Amino acid sequence: MSNAALAGIQRQIMWNRLIAVVEEQAQTMIRTAFSTTVREAGDLSAGIFDLQGRMLAQAVTGTPGHVNSMMEAVGHFLAKFPTESMNPGDHYITNDPWMGTGHLHDLTVVTPAFRRGAIVGLFANTAHVIDVGGLGMGPEGRSVFEEGIYIPIVKCFDRGVPNETFFDFIRWGSRLPVELEGDVYSLCACNDAGAKRLVAMMDEFNMDSIDPLAEFIFDSSLRATLTEIAKLPGGTYSSEISSDGYEQTVTLKAAMTVLPDAIEVDYAGTSGLSQRGINVPAAYTRAYACFGIKVVVAPEIPNNWASLLPFRMKIPEGCILNAPRPYPVAVRHVVGQLLPDLMMGCLHQAVPDRVTAEGSSCLWNPPLRGGGAVSGQGTPNKPVIGDFEVTTFNSGGTGARISRDGLDATAFPSGVRTMPVEATENIAPVVFWRKELRPDSGGAGRQRGGFGQIMEIAAKGDLEYAVNAIFDRVGHPPKGRDGGGEGAAGVVRLVSGQTLRTKGFQVIPDGERLLLELPGGGGLGDPATRDPHAVARDVRDSLVSPENAATLYKVSVEPDGGLDAAATELLRSQSHAL
């Protein structure tokens, strides 16, 4: 019997326990949060850190955009409030885009955990709240100061007592004061739950410190990540991707170098900064770029400080992926969420059988606003809808996968969920007349891209309201790979026909409805090699037209899904002959 072997098993058990501790932390937030973005959509993250600010474990529940960025945030908190100055019952907060997760709508709270009077670790979490004042969620700000109330790193609870000055500021600075204050309480409760569990765990395992466990976690994670990196063919792989931008097309460029013990990405050549809020702070760039690499290279290794260490980023100052303060950054996700596609564009050259085609990628979240702020005061001749402010999360199709089709109307890379239409219509006077899959939008391929969706949105009574558009991939649809076709481009217009801008505040006049057609994912491989039965099923389901089946897939199908095998063979042999 070897004690070392037994201790090894025990350390594994403790690691698993730590992951359960942070999962409890995240679940507490979901149960107590007020903003639909957190409780319905799951736009959050939670983790535990050692006293040097290194993340040991992160909740499985949550979204990748917060991963790495929250991880860096704890260091900023410690720089301002060293651990020696912390007391039991303290909670620290910020929404500084450069100290936290990239825009003012994300609150980050850090809480020390104490055991027997001594500080033993730190818990942190991040959540996207609905409103922080300013212009509201959207790209229109020309500096961060227009985008909302700015919370530097401060104490929101001091030894268990709420900082009423702080709470007064946020109550008076938001359109939704009750929700905002409630969410801060929720974030603190969530860290408390984690701290309580950590102390119980240390008691059970007789741990004086989490440091030995941290070293074990870091050591195993780093070693496992390096092993995965070593399996990749070395070299430098370049790729680029374009976004519609605000004023003009934005191009992101990456040169990824796979070294024996690291992956370095250089973003030289990427477009410069925008005057509007699509700029991305560096921490958010690192977050989504790391996610895009990790999901291909080392998906099974849990996220922590060491497992992300071998991924290094060189982001030139002044490019759109490294926005300095006070550039506007409110909707940094619209550019940032293209990064996994960009990373896969590089990795495709190294490990073509492990990446997906490009997807819709950026969430299509229309912030909707109505009432006095849009239409002024109503008159007997012109009624005005009651004041409201609401956002829903919606997704297009994901890129085709190596052995499966892309996912229809599913969030990727973001980890959020949508809200039920019935729930949205209960909190705001809006009517969704349509929300269903968009036929013929998935890029053709041996594996087909996922289908996007079509949404038709009105205010009740078809009264005037406004959308603060944050949409992309209208001018730059998702690309296929290995001969696969492009996904359908997005469409933003009025139902009556007029095209709208992809970004920015626009009024939907009385009697009009907003029409959104979300992009489909790109295809993978030659469409003429797709299983004809799969094509026939798509036709039968009215998701692929018989015309597209014939021209793109070289398959002859009746509208009811009846496959003409002979005609298909002929079509396919003709296309080979060409």
Partner 1 sequence: MSVRLAVDIGGTFTDLALEANGARHTTKVLTTPAAPEQGVMTGVRAILEQAGLAASDIEILIHGTTLATNAVIERKGAKTALITTQGFRDVLAMGNESRYDQYDLNIVLPEPLVPRHLRLTVPERLDNEGKILLPLDEAAVRALVPVLQREAVESVAVGFLHGFVNPTHERRVRDILAEMMPEMPVSLASDVSPEMREWERFSTTAANAYVQPLMASYLRRLEADLRGIGMTAPIFMMLSGGGLTTIETACRFPIRLVESGPAGGAIFSATIARACGLNRVLSFDMGGTTAKICLIDDFQPQTSRTFEVARVGRFRKGSGLPLRIPVIEMVEIGAGGGSIAHVDSLGRIGVGPESAGADPGPACYGRGGLHPAVTDANLALGRYDPERFAGGAMKLHAEPALAALKHDVGEKLNLSAELAGLGVVEMVDENMANAARVHAIESGKTYDGRTMIAFGGGGPVHGGRVAEKIGIDRVLVPSGAGVGSAIGFLRAPVGYEVVRSLYQRFSTFDVAAVNALLDDMVAEASTVVAAGSFGAPTRQSRIAFMRYVGQGHEIAVTLPEGRILQSDVIAIRASYDQEYARFYDRPVPGSDVEIMSYAVVVATITELAETATDVGKPHAAVPDRFQNVRDTATGEVSAWGIYDRIRLAANAIVQGPAIIAEDETSTLVGPSWTARIEEHGFIEMTRKASA
Residue 463 CB, nearest distance to partner 1 (Å)?
Answer: 13
For partner 1, how many residues bind (rule: CB under 8 A)?
A: 95
Q: Terminus-to-terminus CA distance in the chain, angstroms?
A: 70
Q: What is the dihedral of CA 356, 358, 360, 361, to 10 degrees?
A: 80
The reply to whether 433 sits near partner 1 by the rule CB under 8 A is yes
Q: Of 15, 288, 471, 553, which lies in the binding site for partner 1, with binding defined by CB under 8 A?
A: 15
* Whole-angstrom distance, CA of residue 266 vs CA of residue 101: 21
Kindly report the backbone phi and psi dihedral angles of residue 393, in degrees, each rounded to the nearest multiple of 5, phi listed first: -100, 125
E-strand stretches of 444-574: 453-459, 465-470, 491-494, 503-508, 514-517
The reply to whether 421 sits near partner 1 by the rule CB under 8 A is yes
The reply to whether 220 sits near partner 1 by the rule CB under 8 A is yes
> Which amino acid, 390?
V
Q: Map the footprint of partner 1 across residues 196-215, applying CB under 8 A.
A: 197, 200, 204
Task: Map residue 514 onto helix, strand or coil.
Answer: strand
Residue carrying structure tokens 């995965």 = 228
The reply to whether 23 sits near partner 1 by the rule CB under 8 A is yes
Cα 26 versus chain centre, distance: 17
Binding mask 222-261 for partner 1 (x = CB under 8 A): --x--xx---------------------------------
Q: Of 40, 43, 106, 358, which lies in the binding site for partner 1, with binding defined by CB under 8 A?
A: 40
* Whole-angstrom distance, CA of residue 81 vs CA of residue 75: 10
Select the span of 180-188, 208-216, 308-316, 369-377 touching partner 1 (CB under 8 A): 180-188
Q: Of 24, 211, 264, 510, which lies in the binding site for partner 1, with binding defined by CB under 8 A?
A: 24
Q: Please confirm whether the linkage preceding 162 is cis (ω < 30° from 0).
A: no
For CA atoms 527, 533, 536, 541, give the dihedral sign: negative
- Residue among 357 and 474 whose Cβ is closer to partner 1: 357
Q: Of 110, 390, 407, 492, which lies in the binding site for partner 1, with binding defined by CB under 8 A?
A: 407
Q: Of 415, 449, 520, 525, which lies in the binding site for partner 1, with binding defined by CB under 8 A?
A: 415
Asked if 126 contacts 51 with a C-beta cutoff of 8 angstroms, the reply is no
The reply to whether 32 sits near partner 1 by the rule CB under 8 A is yes
User: 46: closest CA among 35, 34, 38, 58?
Assistant: 58
The reply to whether 189 sits near partner 1 by the rule CB under 8 A is yes
Select the span of 120-128, 323-331, 365-373, 406-414 touching partner 1 (CB under 8 A): 406-414
Residue 577 CB, nearest distance to partner 1 (Å)?
Answer: 34
* Whole-angstrom distance, CA of residue 366 vs CA of residue 467: 6
The reply to whether 43 sits near partner 1 by the rule CB under 8 A is no
- Residue among 417 and 501 whose Cβ is closer to partner 1: 417
Q: Map the footprint of partner 1 across residues 52-71, applying CB under 8 A.
A: 60, 62-64
Q: Map the footprint of partner 1 across residues 280-319, applying CB under 8 A.
A: 294-296, 299-301
- Residue among 436 and 531 whose Cβ is closer to partner 1: 436
Q: Map the footprint of partner 1 across residues 439-498, applying CB under 8 A.
A: 453, 456, 460
Q: Of 155, 173, 561, 575, which lies in the binding site for partner 1, with binding defined by CB under 8 A?
A: 561
* Whole-angstrom distance, CA of residue 534 vs CA of residue 561: 10
Select the span of 46-54, 110-118, 252-260, 393-401 touching partner 1 (CB under 8 A): 393-401
- Cα angle at 458 between 142 and 42, to 5 degrees? 65
Select the span of 85-93, 216-224, 318-326, 477-485 touching partner 1 (CB under 8 A): 216-224
**Max Cα separation, the chain?**
88
Q: Of 155, 175, 435, 501, which lies in the binding site for partner 1, with binding defined by CB under 8 A?
A: 435
Select the span of 17-25, 311-319, 440-448, 495-503 touching partner 1 (CB under 8 A): 17-25
Residue 165 exposed, middle or buried by CB count within 10 Å (0-12, 13-18, 19+)? exposed
367: Cβ contacts below 8 Å, ≥ 6 apart: 136, 137, 138, 389, 390, 391, 467, 468, 470
The reply to whether 185 sits near partner 1 by the rule CB under 8 A is yes
Residue 353 exposed, middle or buried by CB count within 10 Å (0-12, 13-18, 19+)? exposed
Q: Map the footprint of partner 1 across residues 321-350, applying CB under 8 A.
A: none
3-state DSSP percent of the chain in helix, strand and coil, to 5: 35, 20, 45
The reply to whether 541 sits near partner 1 by the rule CB under 8 A is yes
User: 108: closest CA among 241, 231, 281, 254?
Assistant: 281
* Whole-angstrom distance, CA of residue 93 vs CA of residue 96: 9
Q: Map the footprint of partner 1 across residues 510-529, applying CB under 8 A.
A: none
* Whole-angstrom distance, CA of residue 219 vs CA of residue 217: 6
Q: Of 379, 422, 566, 576, which lies in the binding site for partner 1, with binding defined by CB under 8 A?
A: 422
Asked if 401 contacts 480 with a C-beta cutoff of 8 angstroms, the reply is no
The reply to whether 155 sits near partner 1 by the rule CB under 8 A is no
Residue 28 CB, nearest distance to partner 1 (Å)?
Answer: 6
What is the helix (H) or strand (E) element at residue 460, kind and residue range?
Answer: none
- Residue among 182 and 504 whose Cβ is closer to partner 1: 182
Q: Of 49, 218, 412, 471, which lies in the binding site for partner 1, with binding defined by CB under 8 A?
A: 412
Residue 437 CB, nearest distance to partner 1 (Å)?
Answer: 5
